[in-house]
Amino acid sequence: EVQLVESGGGLVQPGGSLRLSCAASGFTFSDYYMDWVRQAPGKGLEWVGRVRDKVNSYTTEYAASVKGRFTLSRDDSKNSVYLQMNSLETEDTAVYYCVKNIRLGSTRGVAFDLWGQGTLLTVS
Amino acid sequence: DIQLTQSPSFVSVSVGDRVTITCRASQAMNSYLAWYQQKPGKAPKILIYAASTLQSGVPLRFSGSGSGTEFTLTISSLQPEDFATYYCQQLNSYPLTFGGGTKVEIK
């Protein structure tokens, strides 16, 4: 089955750290960019960041709101992507979704075609 | 940053109605524009990518169009399962951004 399963959410105090994990299955994980998107309670969607594939040297991009505090990484041998979150703030409280990107030929990152179920982070 | 403004933010419609949602970008962009549907307590689901390409498995009553700074999502005949919140997203440049959402409710 093609799916993404996030884990690692929970309750953290302001200033604390947490690492979210996302396990992928059912597709060739190493071929795709992976992103994280978050949604604060009752609010809209906010892109958090992206980690590219090996061909693109696993480079990363971040939203300004998390840059310098969050770090994205991936382990293609484990079909997993990770979000290390440091210096957490109450504004980081949200459901965090791991997402897979669509590829159109050699063009990557066209849209998000597979979402995990989400994991809730509460900073309080 | 490219800001996306969706309108309306809320619409009340009946089953069978035609619904059009607009997404305006703060600057001209290529067609890396996607639309998602989200139901309460669920992850978003992709409907349209590259402005007008229907994702596999999505009903034909959904369509997307537009270019430059104005894009639209149209639902030709609203079905009961379509009541949800819809988001546009640009993947033209970083940071990737979403519109504020359009909630489609039953009249």
pLDDT tens readout for residues A57-77: 999 999 999 999 999 999 999
Report the pLDDT averaged over residues B40-57. Answer: 97
The tokens 């169009």 sit on which residue?
A: B65
A81-107 pLDDT tens trace: 999 999 999 999 999 999 999 988 888
Dig out the tokens for B49 from the structure.
């990518």
Task: Give the number of other CB atoms < 10 A from CB of residue A49.
Answer: 22
What is the torsion angle, in degrees rounded to the nearest 10, for the CA atoms of residue B31, residue A110, residue A58 and residue A115?
Answer: 140
Minimal Cβ distance to B95: which of A63, A109, A116: A63
Query: Of A86, A110, A85, A113, nearest to A98 (Cα)?
Result: A113
Q: What are phi and psi of B38, to 5 degrees?
A: -130, 130
CB contact under 8 A, B94 and A113: no
Residue with tokens 């693109």: A56
Residues on chain A bordering chain B, Cβ-to-Cβ distance under 8 angstroms = 35, 44-47, 50, 61-64, 97, 102, 104, 109-113, 115-118
Closest CA relative to residue B36, chosen from B2, B12, B4, B68: B4
CA dihedral B16, B21, A61, A118 (to 10 degrees): -30
Among B75, B72, B86, B84, smallest CA distance to B22 is for B72
Q: Which residues of A touch B36 (CB under 8 A)?
A: 45, 112
| Chain A CB within 8 Å of residue B13 CB | no
Contact A110, B49 (CB under 8 A): yes
Q: Name the residue of chain A whose CA is nearest to B31's CA.
A: A110
State the nearest Cα–Cα gap between A95 and chain B, in angstroms: 10
Which residues in A lie closer than 8 A to residue B91 (C-beta atoms)?
A: 109-111
Q: B54 CA to chain A: closest CA distance, Å?
A: 11
Contact A110 B91 (CB under 8 A): yes
pLDDT digits (tens, 9 = 90+) for B70-100: 999 999 999 999 999 999 999 999 999 999 9
Q: Using CA atoms, how far apart are residues B5 and B8, in angstroms rounded to an integer?
A: 9
On whether the CB atoms of residues A60 and A52 are closer than 8 A, the answer is yes
